[in-house]
A and B are shown apart, each in its own frame.
Chain A
């Protein structure tokens, strides 16, 4: 890759403030950034690091409720902080383009995709309308969109998410900008779809030698895309280095800790030779109201004290299976056995004792805890409800539970959920499940809304509790790294069917069902050459939707 040496974007000591609680607070606290022509820089960091804010700032744009308070942003010799709004606007779309996280929300539902594509080139008089349309079709071709001649003439809601994301990349390319800001462009996509978008983005950026700022929280993704990586933490820069060096040899402790995240792996347990499974799902079919069948003949067993991970992409029926077990969605056919005896299908017909056995931990701790109830009551209520504890006994039990989840009882007893951090809230969710003294807990994507370090802590806690209390977990996740670290057995689901199941150590060794292979091979790895190697192995036309369709058919 030949790089021009001229500097394209130079940000110096940038400070951006956000308005909250009636005052302006620094959210970016003096960041420097230098980007050369044709260079791709990855900005990574956890939520609240200010990645997106810097991305928008690079366009001289401050979102509503933020303002650029200090520093300089120099784009190709032009100072953006002192330029007039018209001057800045003339750059946007023409020389600096933006690709947003959610393509579905960022395309205007009222206009055809191609009309939105041609808006900028026509407005800047770079191309006539018809030329711009031809160029759009050419770009759709290069991005390997299906039916490139026709797809642009559809409305956004008529096109799938992965395709929309590529169409948006094409739109960003419409004026052949010098710089594109990619703001988490694949975060909302499934892993198998993510690959096709990643491949398309990398391809097009290479072809036109466009500089890019690639914002993401996923290290493995940024390793594939970026030439240099900059790590951010709470509005400050931690360090910056070329990708290879950064991956092999990070200097700062914070970066090292990010890299080391997936080191945790719980020892593999095996099911007992004989004995009844704790939970046994038998030939379950399920559907919502009169809708299509979501689950189709699903069967599996979960033994006491073991973790079964259920893996699959969105829409595969993972969560629906959990709803069938908990009784929120009575199955149409089949049954759920608990210790060999059938569970009443509807939770309303279950006894207190039956309800107690099976608890849930949710993905979004924000919606899983009532914001208007004190921690002591959130955790205390199940203990009071099931075990009839009151007064001092109840308080002791709550203290004990808080100790168990490694939060100081004296400090948290009287607080409300909104005062806690994401990880702490998730711990309270765990404590609430434990308070019922269950034998089985459904963990529904419990770590996917958390930053990696925090998620790691939660996984370790769950593993420790499992050993101490002999709990069985059903771990719903789409993240294979999580599976690797905590599962004993794995179930792979696709289109409401169980595709494959077995012990974890077998699952990560081939050969497998083709869908499992596809899923496993689609998970990005830290190796910067991973995507290149994969594309060579699979071929550019066997990605994402296309590959999944081949298996499904």
Chain B
């Protein structure tokens, strides 16, 4: 029994007892179930498993503290109204905002942050990390860290523009269909059904095989694939608004379609649409990453997270973590956006109940 193991269990048990004593039910449940799980883990995996648990817990605690601080920071920075909203944000959402903020900085200031150029070959292939190269070199001897920073720009930028394109198409058509109704609505609904019954990745592959892979093709393909999803949601949200009496009142007044959409429908559908934008961004981002990973997305030498995973995948069989870093970057951003969206959806549904 090492000191570490004794300390580990002592910490957990004292923590559980304190939580129980102070009537913190959920903290107690968490700590004590962790203790029980640790018994099994300790027996099966030995000290290293326990160390892993301890390190994960430490990382989680760090993330929680960063999120907490970041939320306080945001509350101080923004106006009173916004601050009131932000106070209701759980730590997960604050964490999400922090990650998104970091990525935005990295993407915007990439050339100043990255020590080397995007396609600059500076050492031998797969060179290990040294004081020059934080994460070592890739299969052509380019700096991994710099490429990841540049990748933020390319991968996120591409997904953002594709999502925005899908949104303009889908939300526009959805609002129009909800207001106009009639055959236009019917036709658009059927059309969306057809597009949506082709699986998205397959449809993207089909289009890429026909038009070849370039940025423009990817953006168009993604916009066409995701616009029907946005359309469906917008149509549903706007459909709920359109049956309201104030829309009838405006129609009876003689207002045109443009006024109805701009002044009456749009202000009442922004909350779900913003959440949907986040959600769609996640799907698009994962799809684009998947395409790049298959070698059919953004073409080299442009740095892109999906293709970086593919190019360096061989390192994994040597037990190296490096190729997983771009993959983790993808996962982290998607998780972050999902956390924020989760909070926004919860808020908008909570408001509805009142």
Q: Is there a contact between chains A and B in the complex with CB atoms less than 8 Å apart?
A: yes
Q: Which residues of A contact B (CB under 8 A)?
A: 20, 22, 326-328, 347, 350, 352, 355, 359-360, 362, 364, 367-373, 381-382, 385-386, 432, 436
A371 to B244, CA, bound (A): 11
Whether B258 sits at the interface, judged by CB under 8 Å, is no
Whether B254 sits at the interface, judged by CB under 8 Å, is yes
Chain B interface category by residue count = 10 to 19
Instruction: Say which residue of A359, A367, A381, A432 sits within 8 Å of B244 (CB atoms).
Output: A367
A22-B88, A362-B245, A362-B249 are contacts. A370–B255 as well, Cβ < 8 Å?
A: no
Q: Is the CB of A385 within 8 A of B268?
A: no
A327 to B253, CA, bound (A): 11
* Per-position binary interface string of chain B over residues 240-255, scored 1 when its CB falls under 8 Å from any chain A CB and 0 otherwise: 0000111011011111
Q: Is the CB of A368 within 8 A of B249?
A: yes
Q: Is the CB of A360 within 8 A of B267?
A: no
Q: Is the CB of B267 within 8 A of A373?
A: yes
Q: Is the CB of A364 within 8 A of B245?
A: yes
A551 to B155, CA, bound (A): 73
Q: Is the CB of B267 within 8 A of A347?
A: no
Q: Is the CB of B246 within 8 A of A347?
A: no
Q: Is the CB of A385 within 8 A of B267?
A: no
* Per-position binary interface string of chain B over residues 255-275, scored 1 when its CB falls under 8 Å from any chain A CB and 0 otherwise: 100000001100110000000
A370-B264, A370-B268, A373-B267 are contacts. A385–B255 as well, Cβ < 8 Å?
A: yes
Q: Which of B323-343 contact A (CB under 8 A)?
A: none
Q: Is the CB of B263 within 8 A of A373?
A: yes
A362-B245, A367-B245, A368-B245 are contacts. A326–B354 as well, Cβ < 8 Å?
A: no
A44 to B248, CA, bound (A): 35
A347 to B250, CA, bound (A): 12
Set of chain B residues within 8 Å of A364, measured between Cβ atoms: 245
A107 to B262, CA, bound (A): 42
Give, as a whole number of angstroms, the nearest-CB distance from B275 to chain A. 17
Give, as a whole number of angstroms, the nearest-CB distance from A326 to chain B. 6
A382 to B254, CA, bound (A): 10
Q: Which residues of B contact A (CB under 8 A)?
A: 88, 244-246, 248-249, 251-255, 263-264, 267-268, 354
Q: Is the CB of A352 within 8 A of B252?
A: no
Set of chain B residues within 8 Å of A328, measured between Cβ atoms: 248, 251-252
A142 to B33, CA, bound (A): 56
Q: Is the CB of A347 within 8 A of B251?
A: yes
Set of chain A residues within 8 Å of B244, measured between Cβ atoms: 367-368, 370
A379 to B251, CA, bound (A): 15
Once A and B bind, how many residue pairs between them come within 8 Å at the CB atom? 50
Set of chain A residues within 8 Å of B88, measured between Cβ atoms: 22
A390 to B207, CA, bound (A): 53
Ordered by A's residue number, 9 sampled pairs between the chains whose C-beta atoms are within 8 Å are: A22-B88, A328-B252, A359-B252, A360-B248, A362-B245, A368-B245, A369-B246, A371-B268, A372-B268
Which residue in chain B gives the minimum CB-CB distance to A444?
Answer: B245
Q: Is the CB of A368 within 8 A of B252?
A: no
Q: Is the CB of A385 within 8 A of B248?
A: no
Set of chain A residues within 8 Å of B264, measured between Cβ atoms: 370, 373
A20-B354, A22-B88, A362-B245 are contacts. A370–B252 as well, Cβ < 8 Å?
A: no
Give, as a whole number of angstroms, the nearest-CB distance from A416 to chain B. 11
Give, as a whole number of angstroms, the nearest-CB distance from A396 to chain B. 21
Instruction: Say which residue of B249, B251, B254, B354 sits within 8 Å of A352 (CB atoms).
Output: B254
Instruction: Say which residue of A326, A327, A367 sits within 8 Å of B246 (CB atoms).
Output: A367
Set of chain A residues within 8 Å of B354, measured between Cβ atoms: 20
A436 to B250, CA, bound (A): 12
A20-B354, A22-B88 are contacts. A370–B253 as well, Cβ < 8 Å?
A: no
Set of chain A residues within 8 Å of B253, measured between Cβ atoms: 355, 381-382, 385-386, 436
Which residue in chain B gives the minimum CB-CB distance to A359?
Answer: B252
Set of chain A residues within 8 Å of B251, measured between Cβ atoms: 328, 347
A359 to B254, CA, bound (A): 12
A368 to B251, CA, bound (A): 12
A367 to B248, CA, bound (A): 10
Q: Is the CB of A372 within 8 A of B267?
A: yes
A381 to B248, CA, bound (A): 14
Q: Is the CB of A360 within 8 A of B246?
A: no
Give, as a whole number of angstroms, the nearest-CB distance from A385 to chain B. 6
Instruction: Say which residue of B252, B255, B263, B268 sits within 8 Å of A360 (CB atoms).
Output: B252
Set of chain A residues within 8 Å of B263, measured between Cβ atoms: 370, 373
Q: Is the CB of A355 within 8 A of B246?
A: no
Of B244, B249, B264, most A-chain CB atoms within 10 Å: B249
A359 to B263, CA, bound (A): 20
Set of chain B residues within 8 Å of A368, measured between Cβ atoms: 244-246, 249
Instruction: Say which residue of B252, B255, B268 sits within 8 Å of A326 (CB atoms).
Output: B252
A148 to B290, CA, bound (A): 64
A327-B252, A355-B253 given; 5 more Cβ-contact pairs under 8 Å = A360-B248, A367-B246, A368-B246, A373-B264, A382-B253
